[in-house]
Structure 1
Amino acid sequence: MTRYSLGAIVLHWLIAFALAFELALGFAMPRGVEGFALFQLHKSVGISILLLTVLRLGWRLAHPRPAPLESGWAHRMAHAVHVGFYLFMLLAPLTGWALVSTAPIKVPTLVFGTLPLPHLPLADSLNPIVEEAHELLAWFGIALFLLHVAGAVRHEILLRDRLLERMAPGGSRPLGAALALGVLALGIGAFLSIGGAKSGREEPENVATAPVTDSPIAEQTPEASPSAEETSPAASETPAPIPTWTISPGGRLAFKVGNGDAGVVEGSFSKWQGAIAFDPERPETADIRITVDLASASVGDSTQDGMLAGDEFFAVSRFSKAVFTARSARRTGTDRYTASGTLQLKGASKPQTISFRLTGSGLARKVQGSATVARAAFGVGEGAAAEGLDPNVTVNFSFDAKGTLPAE
């Protein structure tokens, strides 16, 4: 027998292409939140390599391999590299699996977005150990990959013993060479393209236009309402009725938070509602209540959306709503206001100020505004996944509102 069996050849090249891509992806993918899609792909390819390796070992036991071309130290070196490769292809995916299973935040794994992969029943205290092991194995894999390529080049160029034909489909030396070059090109190309995209990524623009105000979170306590002398030239005059406002469909409630070198994480809430009583001429009489369905939070990635609903962020299973209430507002400029009140979020209640601007006239207005929320005060964003997040989250809102005067 001078050549490998067809099954061994197919499995060899499938694993080779997968390994080249996986190693490049592992070293080049962004480590921030925006790298989640690539992180999921990295896990999917890793599990695929594990399954292919088990299949390859089973095939090797059932089908004899060709006799070695060399003996002595060269044969022992080649054998050691092959044994090392099998260990690497088994242990690297397993330590990766253990790594996500012991992480402080349990990110669900869907193999290629479809097949759920359960977490291993391991103690979270093992996380630093398996993380270090996984990283060391990655470098070990790079070294083995280079040794394997160097050995193939030695056989083809120096020894000219046509080793490549033994692992080429149909025994075609040109096809074998093309496959080998394809593996190298895939690895290098994936590393350069993913790494280039990471380094060239620009910070995205704001998801919603909102007026810029001076440090809205700085005003943490509601100010006293102006006296009657300041608001009414005639104390005996009956106050005008306060309009109540209905938020029209199509409004937007968005959020963004810095994530260190990884840029900005942006998302929005799709379900929220408000009960608003507000007179632009008498803002001190305002009564505002905004309720947000936390389960509707999305950053455009299903895995990250699941994390937002988890205990480390919004804990939606225990705290389904966030509520902002304010019993007064203050004019800060032409058609510009602030409202200082209370934000109830994740079981905590803290002072919170929002700033907003009105456009339009009468009982048809457009509202644009913003707030800065200190997430840590509410326990939002805990654990390893939130380590790079800025302490403050910017919330932008924009909606049309229709006013109604109470019946006399």
Structure 2
Amino acid sequence: MPRIRHIALLVPASGGYSRGVCRGVATFALDRDDWLIFPYERAEFTKLPPWLKKGHIDGIIGFISNPDLGRQITSLGVPIVDVQGEGNCPDFPWIDTDAEVVAGLAEDFFTQAGFAHFAFCGYPGVFFSDRRSDAFTGLVRGKGVEPHVYEPPPRVTTTIRNQFREMRGLEYEPALAAWLARLPKPVAILACNDTRGQQIITACRDLGISMPADVSVMGVDNDEILCRLCRPTLTSIAPDTEGIGILAGRLLNAILEGEAVEPRLYKQPPLRVVERESTDVTTAQNPLVLAASRVIRDRACRGISVEQVCELAGCSRSTLDGLFKKHLGRSIAGEMVRVRLGTAMRLLENTTLTLDEIATACGFQSATYFCRFFKRESGSTPAQYRSAQALR
């Protein structure tokens, strides 16, 4: 019988991100008969819990939030994998969501929506915000566009702990409101995380800025509750938190097995953009494309045809198709597919409607036709998709 390894899991279970990481670690451990997990779920801690110092732990997976905590944990003499991603235990691996892929998803989404102005809003000096800012602004500049970047007052850029103690979704610094008011409109903003996204939404509402028509915002982390409480609801990039947990388990186990594991940042790609109301807009400057896009958004799930869209726009199909491809990068039919698929995904994620009910809501005559459409466009069946989302 293999020797049981005692693994400390120092991950708060209070948020969607950390719960996903915990699920991933648990998934990895379920496939093994030599791992015993000891979770420690306090929201934050700066000193090691007494039980961790007694020498019964073989390895640690945790949110290592600052260098001092990293030194304390390193002094225990056991291998560590940091799933917060800052690298506060530099002798061991650390994992973060891949900022370059986050930037690519956001830039591609906003470009396809027709935006000409791009902005990033984060917390300068905070590791995950700086990574995402550098990746997004670099990508936008590479396309020949100069992005707008928010630089808050110095007091806001101290530490994660201070920021999330002082800054909540209903509170924001006056400088943020002033920056939003100055931005050229319409503008697409990538927020460093969902809390920052909610602050932007709150500030825009207080300023009377139309969302998403003038300001379209996307967060990162896809905190389901937070995103759905925003008005408008917040579009966000979903990280593969379960994948981070599984990767952490693999790296720690490799170290325990005596394998050479490089002490560096390991990047886990995010899953996808989860569309909600805060980006539900087409900003194409061509009036025909704009008008037709609004018709599609309103009626794609009510059975409208491409020909009817063209008729309402007062334009031939060939002309309108050409304009759509020029301004949005896809055909009229492609835009209709995008809207219907997005609606179906939201209903599968956020409701308990049956497949028959979702098929009807998306404009399909039967669940059979709907399932074929969904499988063709997404690569998975509706049931598979719903099950996968329920685990996140």
Asked whether the two chains share a fold, i.e. TM above 0.5, the reply is no
Normalised-by-shorter TM-score class = under 0.3
Could you tell me the TM-score, scaled by structure 1's length?
A: 0.23
Q: 1 or 2, which has the higher strand percentage?
A: 1
Q: 1 or 2, which has the higher helix percentage?
A: 2
